[in-house]
Amino acid sequence: MKRLIVLGLALLASGVAYALPLGNPSEASLMHDGVFYEPRCVDFCDPYADWSDAIFFRLGFYGDYVLNRNLEVYTGIHKGKSIEQFELTTNAGEFTISACDRVDLFVVLGTTNIDLTTNAASLAGAGSGAINGDRLHLESETRLSLSFGGRATLFQSGCCSFGIEGQYFYTKPDIRRITARETVSVNPAGNIQMKYSEWQIGFGVSYRIWNLVPYFGGKWSSADVDLNHAFINVSSDAPVVNVILDNFKNRFNGGYVIGVSLVNCEKATLTFETRYPDEKAFFFNVQFRL
């Protein structure tokens, strides 16, 4: 138990937050029965293998809600400027192929929209009259997003499990509206797109207490927002407001999470997860084994 506590503290000290959910590190080993199987709700911490566990499938809902993602400008004249608030909302379906109650391969397909609010001076173009303190708000369309990756339970001793995961996320929404000073807005001409991509690797520890499986973990990620250095004139009236949309990246790469899964007789799981302190985000996931 002391070793588990020390490992947990090491994970929690590993850094600050990221944008993609970790999920339960023992997720590949939580559901032993499908929805059409007889329930088996005892001895759930005893690892065992059955012919039906060789290959099976899961379906679920994936909701990831990032309330504030910490980014900074990393190209152009405003390099190093912070983006004050960057929100991502993703609602999607998840399909998982699982092998031997130990390895998951998953794909997540759904929709994502992005909302950015920051100091207008952080993105001001040449000749802009924006001053420090002016607000700039950027809204995207809701567009298709894709994520795929894998997860594996590496070690299991009784009710304690240690696992790893890795995944990649991509979305490319159009910019719908840009508003300056909360009074002047413009719908950009043409298709100005925001390419958001991110990869991550992570690890974590979980401990099952009857039907509850709390977990914590750490990970390393890299996010990139490509706006193709678009120049947009928001207002031609004095004071003139124009912006240059340089590229962004995450300010910190390390992160940690805390979450819990509720398991229903080895057939379904309900997972809640939070990520902080630098990023304020929460994740909600429901899965059923077929």
Residue 52: the pLDDT is 58
Residue 254: the pLDDT is 83
Return the amino acid letter for 146: L
Residue 32: the pLDDT is 65
| % of the chain beyond a pLDDT of 90 | 49
Distances (CA, A) of 61 to 24, 27, 111, 269, 286: 15, 15, 12, 11, 5
Beta bridge pairs of residue 192: none
**215 or 2, which is more confident?**
215
The alpha helices in the chain, defined as continuous H runs, are 2-12
Q: How far apart are CA 29 and CA 216, in angstroms?
A: 16
Rg from Cα positions in the chain: 22
Residue 71: the pLDDT is 92
pTM for the model: 0.85
Nearest to 102 by CA among 158, 44, 149, 164: 164
Beta bridge pairs of residue 282: 65, 274
Question: Which residue is associated with the tokens 């504030």?
Answer: 68
Q: How confident is the model at residue 147 (pLDDT cuts 50, 70, 90)?
A: very high
Decide: helix, strand or coil at residue 199: strand
From the centroid of its chain, how far is CA 155? 25
Residue 149: the pLDDT is 97
Mean pLDDT of the chain: 84
| Per-residue pLDDT at 127 exceeds 80 | no
Nearest to 245 by CA among 271, 227, 263: 227
Decide: helix, strand or coil at residue 29: helix
Residue 121: the pLDDT is 84
Q: How far apart are CA 51 and CA 150, in angstroms?
A: 22
**47 or 133, which is more confident?**
133
DSSP symbols for 91-140: EEEEEEEEETTTEEEEEEEEEEEEEEEEEGGGGB-TT----TT-EEEEEE
Instruction: Give the model confidence (pLDDT) of 197-206 as tens digits.
Output: 999 999 999 9
Which run of H or E residues covers position 177?
A: strand 175-180
